[in-house]
Amino acid sequence: MPAEEKTSSYHIKSELSTNRLNFFGGLWHGAFLALGVSLTQPTTVISAFIADLTGSTVWVGGLSTVLIIAGALPQIFVARWIEPRPRKMPYLMTAIYLRVISWGILAWLIYAIGDQQPLTLAWILVGMLAIFYAGGGLGNIPYTDIIGKIIPAERRGAYFGGMGALAGPLSVGAAFFARYIMAHVTYPNNYALLFGLAAVGLGIASLGFWVMREPLSSAAEQNLQSWHQYGQQLLTAGRRLKTLIAAQLLTGFSLMALPFYVVFARNQLDAPSEAIGWFLLAQVLGGLIFNLVWARLVDQAGSRWMLFFCAIISTLTPLLAIILASFGWFALTPVFFLAGASFAGRQVGFQSALLEIAPATERATYAGLNAVLLLPIAFLSLGAGLFLQFWSYTALFLFTALFVGVGIVVIYRWASE
C-alpha cells in the first residue's frame, strides 16, 4: 500500500475512533447527570422540601422563578465572551465543578443546621440552588457549541435518545433509592443525603468530558466584539429564533404547573412523605420511556413534529390531574409519568431545533439569547404560587392547559412550513 494511502487510512481510523470516544463520552456524562438530577428533581424533591420548610405555595413558585433566572440571565454575557474562543471545554468543566461544590455544600449545611431553623435553611437552600443553576446556565453555552461540533445533525436524535436509554436504569435506580431514603432516613437528613449523593453523581458525570476530544472551532480565535457589534448580531439571531421562542414560551406554561403537582398531592390529597418517591419514580420512568420515542421522532420526522406531539401530552397532563384527583393521591402517578415524558421531550426537541437554526460559528450566541428570551417563563411558577393564594388548583391546571393548547397550534403551523 502506498505511503499516502496508509496515511489517509490512519487518519480516517483515528477520526472514527475520536468520534466514537466523543459520542460515548457525551452519553456517559448525560447518563450520570440524569442520575444526580433524579435524586433532586426540582418539581418533586425540591418543591416538597421548600414546602416542608415554609408551608407556602409562594415560596415554591418563587424558588422556581429564582432558579430559572439564575440559569438564564448570565448566558448572554457569557456567550459574547466565550464565542470567539476556539476551545470551550475548560469553561464547561469550570461550570460543572461549580455545581458539584454547591450541591456538596448544601448537603453539609442541611445536615449541620437540622430542623431547628427552617426559615434559615430555606434561605440557604435558595442561595445554594441559585449557584447550582447559575453553574448550569454558564455550562449550557460551551455545552451547546461542543455538542454541535462533535455530533452530526443526522445523529443528534440517536445521541439524545441513547443518552436517555443509558440514563434510564440509573435514573430508575436513583428514584427507588430516593424513595427508600425519604421513607427511612429522618428529616431533614434525608434531603441532605439526597443532595450529597447528587453531588457525587455529577462528579462521576464529569469524567465523560475528560475523555472527549473537542475539535477547534472552524474560525480562528477572534477579538471580542464591542457591545454595539454584538447587539446587531443579537438582533439578527432574534429574528431567526422568533418562532422557536414563541413555541417555547407558550408550551412553557406546562412548567408553571410542574412544581405544584406534588404540593397538590400533599396539601389536597393528604399524600404521605413516601409518595414523593413514587412520584419521582413515575416521572423518571416517563422520561426514560419517552426519550426513545422522542429520539426516533427527531431523526425520522424532525424536531418540529416531535415537539408537536410533545405539546399534546403537555396539554393533557394538567387535565388528567383534575380528573384523577378524585381517586386519591396514588391516582396522580400517571400525571407525573406524563410530566416526565413531556419535560424530557422539551429538552430533546428544543435543543435539536436550536442546533438546526443556529449557524455553526454562532451557537453560543443563539444558546445565550434563547435562554434570555425565555426568562418570562421564570415568573410563571411565582405567578402560579400567588394565583393559588386566591384560586384553586383546578383553575391553575385549566389555565395551564389553555396556553399550552395555543402552543400546539403555533408548533403545528411551524412544522407545516
DSSP 146-164: HHHHHS-GGGHHHHHHHHH
State the CATH architecture for 27-211+226-416.
Up-down Bundle (1.20)
At 13 the pLDDT is: 47
- Give dist(CA 3, CA 327) in Å, integer: 74
297-319 confidence digits (pLDDT tens) = 887 888 899 999 999 999 999 99
At 412 the pLDDT is: 95
Exposure letters 203-228 (e unless 16+ CB within 10 A, then b) = bbbbebbeebebeebeeeeeeebeee
At 217 the pLDDT is: 62
Asked whether the beta carbons of 94 and 156 are under 8 A apart, the reply is no
- Give dist(CA 154, CA 280) in Å, integer: 32
Give 19's Cβ-side CA count (13 Å radius).
Answer: 12
3-12, 52-61, 139-148, 272-281: the lowest-pLDDT one: 3-12
- Give dist(CA 389, CA 311) in Å, integer: 28
Residue 2 confidence (pLDDT) above 60: no
Between 134 and 410, the more confident residue is 410
Q: If you average pLDDT over every residue of the chain, what do you get?
A: 81
Q: Which of 126-135, 264-273, 334-343 has the highest mean pLDDT?
A: 334-343
101-105, 294-298, 362-366, 401-405: the lowest-pLDDT one: 362-366
DSSP string, 200-258: HHHHHHHHHHHS--PPPPSSPP-PPPPHHHHHHHHHHHHHHHHHHHHHHHHHTHHHHHH
At 15 the pLDDT is: 53
Residue 401 confidence (pLDDT) above 90: yes
Q: What is the 3-state secondary structure (H, E, C) of 83-105?
A: CCCCCCHHHHHHHHHHHHHHHHH
At 7 the pLDDT is: 46
- Give dist(CA 34, CA 43) in Å, integer: 14
In this structure, what C-alpha cell is assigned to residue 193? 443525603
Parse the chain into domains and list their residue ranges. 27-211+226-416
Which whole-number Å values give the CA distances from 184 to 188, 189, 190, 198, 335, in the listed order? 11, 10, 8, 18, 25
Sign of CA dihedral 68, 343, 104, 276: positive
Asked whether the beta carbons of 411 and 247 are under 8 A apart, the reply is yes
Asked whether the beta carbons of 153 and 355 are under 8 A apart, the reply is yes
91-130 confidence digits (pLDDT tens) = 888 888 988 898 899 889 888 887 778 888 888 888 887 8
Cis amide linkage into residue 188, ω under 30° from 0: yes
- Give dist(CA 402, CA 399) in Å, integer: 5
Q: What is the four-CA torsion angle of 169, 174, 175, 178, rounded to 10 degrees? A: 170
Cβ neighbours, 10 Å, residue 78: 21
Between 68 and 266, the more confident residue is 266
- Which DSSP category does 280 fall into? H
Phi/psi class of residue 119: alpha, beta or left (left: φ > 0; alpha: ψ in -120 to 50)?
alpha
Asked whether the beta carbons of 413 and 308 are under 8 A apart, the reply is no
Between 293 and 59, the more confident residue is 293
pTM over the 0.75 mark: no
- Which DSSP category does 391 fall into? S
